Chains A and B, each alone.
Chain A
Amino acid sequence: MMISKMNLIPFLVIIPLAGAFLIPAFGKRIKILGEIVSTIATLSMFVLSVFLAFSISIKKVLIYNVGGWPGPFGISMVVDGLSVFMLITVNLIAFLVAVFSIDYIKRYTDTWKFYTLFILMVSGMNGVLIAGDLFNLYVFLEVAAIAAYSLVAFGTKGEELEASFKYAVMGAVGSGFILLGIALLYNYTSTLNMADMASVITAKGTLKIIPFVSVLFLMGFGLKGAIVPFHAWLPDAHTSAPTPISAMLSGVLIKVLGIYSLLRIFFNVLGVSDTILAIFMFLGVISILIGVILAVGQWDFKRLLAYHSISQIGYIMLGVGLGTPIGIFGGLFHLFNHSIFKSLLFLNSGAVDYSIGTRDLKDMGGLSEKMPVTAGTNLIASMSIAGIPPLNGFFSKLIIIIACFQANRAGYAFWAVVGSLLTLASFMKVQRYAFSGPLNKKWQNAKEVPAAMSAAMVILAIICVIGGLLAMPAFASFIRSAAEVLSRGKEYADFITGAMK
């Protein structure tokens, strides 16, 4: 029985890759193939990751050896608490975004190309999450990133191409740094398997190469994850992409390519020192403040949300950077919550764009009369991102702030609260200008969006409301097993190596 569970792991990559092959092969003739394949594939992967989560709660780690070669010589796919936590987040958002896209994407021609790239991006992200060695992580990261660059340019308007080029060039520089870091680490340890690499580094002791490699990885993954000061591409790329893709980019892509890879490598392979943690916290606080200050003045709905992504990524970095178990728990909990409410907010902006064809907040007004579902879900998501109890965003921010006080970092807690207040202010602006108040005369004929789009938004809003329960002791094991992977640090490598044999 155990063997069959391990054999399920590669399907997380096989299913979307098969979909990415089927859609272009037959999509031109069968019009709705893209919709059907992407919805079914993402749903089945979500079910698969939930199933793996239950297996993990018993066995802690599952390893699949590609081609039957055992690690560290063969390629291994590793699923542990942290991977499974991220897998559930990614595939849940991917499924809901696929459902939302069914109606939304009809405004573009050649929708089968959209679905091909979309599902290729999901396969790249799943690959990053189950990669057991650094080079596979790099390859899947590039698969996801290249799909994302093309999706940003999907509309082929001037602005979109410009944003995509900017994103691609910055991403290429980031990838160059990451590959250079991998080359140096391989030269030093003579292995690419992450668990094995960690043991070799522990055995050899830290040399001068580790800080240098740390800086390379921090720059590379920082660029992918849009941590200030590497954030310049994010507002343009997220604003220009088709809205379902903005939800994917902001909700999961920057977290998988940036935050997950960064945390996995620093905590489980290189080992964290106090200096690294201090850098994480400092970058986190800077991101919170710069992101939110830039967001307050924006009038473009999507651009405002994009700047908030930078700010919320800062909270995750701050929480994890504290290095205490409760801080890591808070950071990861906020990661989950952020992907839920930020995707919901982007889908809301897409719904408004779908109905009335504008993203300018000044031009909206009183839409709650005409679009009750969008307005209601947007209210929930706005309260959640601003940290109003009892929604999920409140609990994760509270845990991060409590963790700051416990670690004697009251200054950082203060800035986190300031960031939260500014977030509240900017979302009150959204509510005031877009949804409440008298109806703008122009939008007398505005209609609520079709059922599939509403359904995706309502499900996300429900998760926002009940998501706070995940912090309760009865349900916390899901996130705690993920946090444990990080807080055990390099000891974890021995655990994986033990399971490999």
Chain B
Amino acid sequence: MITVYILCLVLFLVGLYCVVRKRNLIKIIIGIGIMEYAVNFFFILTGYRTEGRSPIFASDQAIKNMVDPLPQAVVSTAIVIGLAFMLLLVGIAIKIYEKYGTFDITKINRLKG
């Protein structure tokens, strides 16, 4: 189990590295995507119980160990937010390409700050 958590952290750090270090707008957007997935994945993991099953009550089944359904509900909301955000970012990136003719952030520097 601990390996999965470590992989999750590695995934988050890969995303963060990608956002901070990459010069291409599209790669930055992909980095943000990876970061979001890592956080969502971690949230789902916190609700997981070993040998757990889905928390649905049925008359003919004995319930021993259920996974926590709340992180799943929360993460599905977070995924929708992430999708909306991703669309906005890609839209802005396309517009930037129209204006500047490049995706390289070192060449997109009309602002002073």
A180 to B36, CA, bound (A): 9
Check B81 against A142 for contact (C-beta < 8 Å): yes
Q: Which residues of chain A come closer than 8 Å to B58, judged between CB atoms?
A: none
Q: Which residues of chain B come closer than 8 Å to A441, judged between CB atoms?
A: none
Q: Would you give the shortest CB distance from B102 to chain A, in whole angstroms? A: 11
Check B113 against A236 for contact (C-beta < 8 Å): yes
Check A235 against B85 for contact (C-beta < 8 Å): no
A293 an interface residue at 8 Å Cβ cutoff? no
Q: Would you give the shortest CB distance from B7 to chain A, in whole angstroms? A: 15
A161 to B89, CA, bound (A): 10
A438 to B25, CA, bound (A): 47
Q: Tell me the chain A residues, 36-72 only, with Cβ under 8 Å from chain B.
A: none
Q: How many A-B residue pairs have CB under 8 A?
A: 94
The dominant DSSP class at the B interface is helix
Q: Which residues of chain A come closer than 8 Å to B95, judged between CB atoms?
A: 153, 156, 161
Check B16 against A162 for contact (C-beta < 8 Å): no
- Pick from B16, B25, B39: contact of A165, CB below 8 A: B25
B93 an interface residue at 8 Å Cβ cutoff? yes
A139 to B42, CA, bound (A): 18
Check B89 against A158 for contact (C-beta < 8 Å): no
Chain A minimum-CB-distance residue to B43: A183
Q: Interface residues of A, CB < 8 Å — how many? A: 35
A157 an interface residue at 8 Å Cβ cutoff? yes
A500 an interface residue at 8 Å Cβ cutoff? no
Check B85 against A183 for contact (C-beta < 8 Å): no
Chain B minimum-CB-distance residue to A138: B78
A150 an interface residue at 8 Å Cβ cutoff? yes
Given A172-B32, A235-B113, is A179 in contact with B19 using a C-beta cutoff of 8 Å?
no
B111 an interface residue at 8 Å Cβ cutoff? yes
A236 to B100, CA, bound (A): 17
A146 an interface residue at 8 Å Cβ cutoff? yes
Report which A residues bind B (CB closer than 8 A). Answer: 135, 138-139, 142, 146, 149-150, 153, 156-159, 161-166, 168-169, 172-173, 176, 179-180, 183, 186-187, 192, 232, 235-236, 239-240, 303
